[in-house]
Amino acid sequence: MMKKIYVSTIALLMLSGCAQNTPDASGNVSDANRIGSDTISIDESNMMEDGSGINYNSSSDGFVSVYFDFDGYTIASSMENRVRHNATKLQSVGSRQVKLEGNCDEFGTDEYNYALGLKRAKAVKDALADQGVNTSNVVMVSFGESSPVCSDPTDECYAQNRRVDLRLVR
Protein backbone atom coordinates (compact mmCIF):
# COMPACT_ATOMS: atom_id res chain seq x y z
CA MET A 1 0.00 0.00 0.00
CA MET A 2 2.74 2.47 0.97
CA LYS A 3 4.69 1.60 -2.16
CA LYS A 4 1.68 2.46 -4.36
CA ILE A 5 1.30 5.85 -2.68
CA TYR A 6 5.03 6.54 -3.07
CA VAL A 7 5.02 5.58 -6.78
CA SER A 8 1.84 7.62 -7.41
CA THR A 9 3.32 10.65 -5.67
CA ILE A 10 6.54 10.44 -7.67
CA ALA A 11 4.59 10.07 -10.92
CA LEU A 12 2.42 13.09 -10.09
CA LEU A 13 5.43 15.22 -9.25
CA MET A 14 7.15 14.29 -12.48
CA LEU A 15 4.09 15.07 -14.60
CA SER A 16 2.99 18.31 -12.96
CA GLY A 17 4.30 21.40 -14.65
CA CYS A 18 5.80 19.63 -17.65
CA ALA A 19 5.54 21.46 -20.92
CA GLN A 20 3.66 19.84 -23.74
CA ASN A 21 5.46 18.99 -26.96
CA THR A 22 3.53 20.35 -29.90
CA PRO A 23 4.42 20.18 -33.55
CA ASP A 24 5.51 23.23 -35.48
CA ALA A 25 4.01 24.20 -38.85
CA SER A 26 5.91 21.39 -40.59
CA GLY A 27 4.61 18.77 -38.14
CA ASN A 28 7.93 18.34 -36.32
CA VAL A 29 8.37 18.89 -32.62
CA SER A 30 11.08 21.51 -32.26
CA ASP A 31 13.76 21.41 -29.58
CA ALA A 32 12.33 24.64 -28.17
CA ASN A 33 9.21 22.72 -27.12
CA ARG A 34 11.10 20.18 -25.01
CA ILE A 35 11.91 20.71 -21.36
CA GLY A 36 15.53 20.04 -20.71
CA SER A 37 16.59 21.11 -24.18
CA ASP A 38 18.42 24.31 -24.96
CA THR A 39 16.14 27.29 -24.58
CA ILE A 40 15.23 29.69 -27.33
CA SER A 41 17.41 32.76 -27.00
CA ILE A 42 15.83 36.13 -27.15
CA ASP A 43 17.11 37.76 -30.33
CA GLU A 44 17.79 41.29 -29.19
CA SER A 45 18.14 42.55 -32.76
CA ASN A 46 14.53 41.56 -33.44
CA MET A 47 13.28 42.70 -30.06
CA MET A 48 15.08 46.01 -29.51
CA GLU A 49 16.43 47.63 -32.64
CA ASP A 50 14.04 49.07 -35.20
CA GLY A 51 15.30 52.63 -35.42
CA SER A 52 12.98 53.77 -32.64
CA GLY A 53 14.65 51.31 -30.25
CA ILE A 54 11.58 49.21 -29.45
CA ASN A 55 10.03 46.23 -31.21
CA TYR A 56 7.46 43.65 -30.08
CA ASN A 57 6.47 45.84 -27.17
CA SER A 58 3.13 45.26 -25.49
CA SER A 59 3.81 47.45 -22.46
CA SER A 60 2.28 50.91 -22.32
CA ASP A 61 2.93 54.38 -20.90
CA GLY A 62 6.50 54.50 -22.24
CA PHE A 63 7.57 51.22 -20.63
CA VAL A 64 9.02 48.33 -22.64
CA SER A 65 8.30 44.63 -22.25
CA VAL A 66 10.95 42.34 -20.79
CA TYR A 67 11.23 38.96 -22.55
CA PHE A 68 12.27 35.57 -21.20
CA ASP A 69 13.68 32.32 -22.51
CA PHE A 70 11.50 29.24 -22.79
CA ASP A 71 10.57 27.90 -19.33
CA GLY A 72 12.75 30.58 -17.71
CA TYR A 73 12.33 33.45 -15.31
CA THR A 74 15.83 34.89 -15.08
CA ILE A 75 16.51 38.12 -16.88
CA ALA A 76 18.89 37.61 -19.79
CA SER A 77 21.75 40.05 -20.25
CA SER A 78 20.14 41.11 -23.55
CA MET A 79 17.16 42.42 -21.53
CA GLU A 80 19.17 44.55 -19.10
CA ASN A 81 18.78 47.69 -21.27
CA ARG A 82 15.02 47.22 -21.12
CA VAL A 83 15.12 46.93 -17.34
CA ARG A 84 17.25 50.10 -17.12
CA HIS A 85 14.84 51.93 -19.45
CA ASN A 86 11.88 50.88 -17.28
CA ALA A 87 13.71 51.86 -14.08
CA THR A 88 14.35 55.35 -15.46
CA LYS A 89 10.73 55.65 -16.56
CA LEU A 90 9.47 54.43 -13.15
CA GLN A 91 11.53 57.03 -11.33
CA SER A 92 9.88 59.73 -13.46
CA VAL A 93 6.27 58.68 -12.66
CA GLY A 94 6.59 59.43 -8.95
CA SER A 95 4.31 57.58 -6.57
CA ARG A 96 1.91 56.21 -9.18
CA GLN A 97 1.19 52.51 -8.95
CA VAL A 98 2.69 50.29 -11.66
CA LYS A 99 1.50 46.81 -12.56
CA LEU A 100 3.93 44.09 -13.71
CA GLU A 101 2.04 41.57 -15.83
CA GLY A 102 3.72 38.16 -16.18
CA ASN A 103 2.92 36.22 -19.36
CA CYS A 104 3.82 32.82 -20.82
CA ASP A 105 3.60 30.93 -24.08
CA GLU A 106 1.01 28.18 -24.48
CA PHE A 107 3.21 25.31 -23.30
CA GLY A 108 2.60 23.86 -19.86
CA THR A 109 -0.47 23.59 -17.66
CA ASP A 110 -2.53 26.59 -16.61
CA GLU A 111 -1.22 26.26 -13.05
CA TYR A 112 2.39 26.00 -14.16
CA ASN A 113 2.10 29.02 -16.45
CA TYR A 114 0.36 31.09 -13.77
CA ALA A 115 3.23 30.38 -11.36
CA LEU A 116 5.84 31.04 -14.07
CA GLY A 117 4.20 34.37 -14.93
CA LEU A 118 4.45 35.42 -11.27
CA LYS A 119 8.10 34.35 -11.12
CA ARG A 120 8.82 36.46 -14.20
CA ALA A 121 7.05 39.48 -12.70
CA LYS A 122 9.00 39.00 -9.45
CA ALA A 123 12.29 38.81 -11.38
CA VAL A 124 11.52 42.15 -13.05
CA LYS A 125 10.47 43.71 -9.74
CA ASP A 126 13.73 42.56 -8.13
CA ALA A 127 15.76 43.86 -11.08
CA LEU A 128 14.02 47.23 -10.83
CA ALA A 129 14.80 47.35 -7.10
CA ASP A 130 18.45 46.61 -7.94
CA GLN A 131 18.33 49.69 -10.20
CA GLY A 132 17.28 51.83 -7.22
CA VAL A 133 13.53 51.88 -7.89
CA ASN A 134 11.27 52.06 -4.82
CA THR A 135 9.02 49.07 -5.52
CA SER A 136 6.44 49.82 -2.82
CA ASN A 137 4.02 50.98 -5.55
CA VAL A 138 4.69 48.00 -7.82
CA VAL A 139 2.05 45.27 -7.98
CA MET A 140 2.46 41.93 -9.72
CA VAL A 141 -0.08 39.82 -11.59
CA SER A 142 0.17 36.76 -13.78
CA PHE A 143 -1.88 36.14 -16.88
CA GLY A 144 -0.16 32.83 -17.54
CA GLU A 145 -0.86 31.94 -21.16
CA SER A 146 -4.19 33.83 -21.34
CA SER A 147 -2.92 37.10 -22.82
CA PRO A 148 -0.87 36.28 -25.94
CA VAL A 149 0.22 39.02 -28.31
CA CYS A 150 0.89 36.50 -31.07
CA SER A 151 -0.81 33.22 -31.96
CA ASP A 152 1.20 31.92 -34.92
CA PRO A 153 2.73 28.46 -34.34
CA THR A 154 6.33 29.71 -34.66
CA ASP A 155 9.23 30.02 -32.23
CA GLU A 156 9.38 33.77 -32.86
CA CYS A 157 5.71 34.12 -31.94
CA TYR A 158 6.05 31.99 -28.80
CA ALA A 159 9.02 34.17 -27.75
CA GLN A 160 6.83 37.30 -27.94
CA ASN A 161 4.41 35.76 -25.44
CA ARG A 162 7.10 35.02 -22.81
CA ARG A 163 7.23 38.48 -21.29
CA VAL A 164 6.48 40.91 -18.50
CA ASP A 165 4.54 44.01 -19.47
CA LEU A 166 4.53 47.18 -17.37
CA ARG A 167 1.53 49.48 -17.10
CA LEU A 168 0.56 52.44 -14.97
CA VAL A 169 -2.51 51.67 -12.86
CA ARG A 170 -5.29 54.11 -13.72
Q: What is the CATH number of the domain that holds 53?
A: 3.30.1330.60
Count other Cβ atoms within 10 Å, centred on residue 124: 28
Lowest model confidence (mean pLDDT) among 11-20, 119-128, 154-163: 11-20
User: What's the confidence (pLDDT) of residue 170?
Assistant: 86
Q: 152 lies in a domain? A: yes
Q: Can you give the C-alpha Rg of the chain in angstroms?
A: 18
User: What's the confidence (pLDDT) of residue 18?
Assistant: 38
Domain span holding position 69: 41-168
pLDDT digits (tens, 9 = 90+) for 88-111: 999 999 889 999 999 999 999 999
Region of 55 (left: φ > 0; alpha: ψ -120 to 50; beta: rest) is beta
Q: 35 lies in a domain? A: no
Q: 94 lies in a domain? A: yes
User: What's the confidence (pLDDT) of residue 56?
Assistant: 67
Q: How many helices (H) and strands (E) in the chain?
A: 5, 4
pLDDT mean over 42-65 = 60
Q: 4 lies in a domain? A: no
User: What's the confidence (pLDDT) of residue 157?
Assistant: 94
Report the domain count for the chain.
1
Q: 32 lies in a domain? A: no
Q: 63 lies in a domain? A: yes
Q: 86 lies in a domain? A: yes
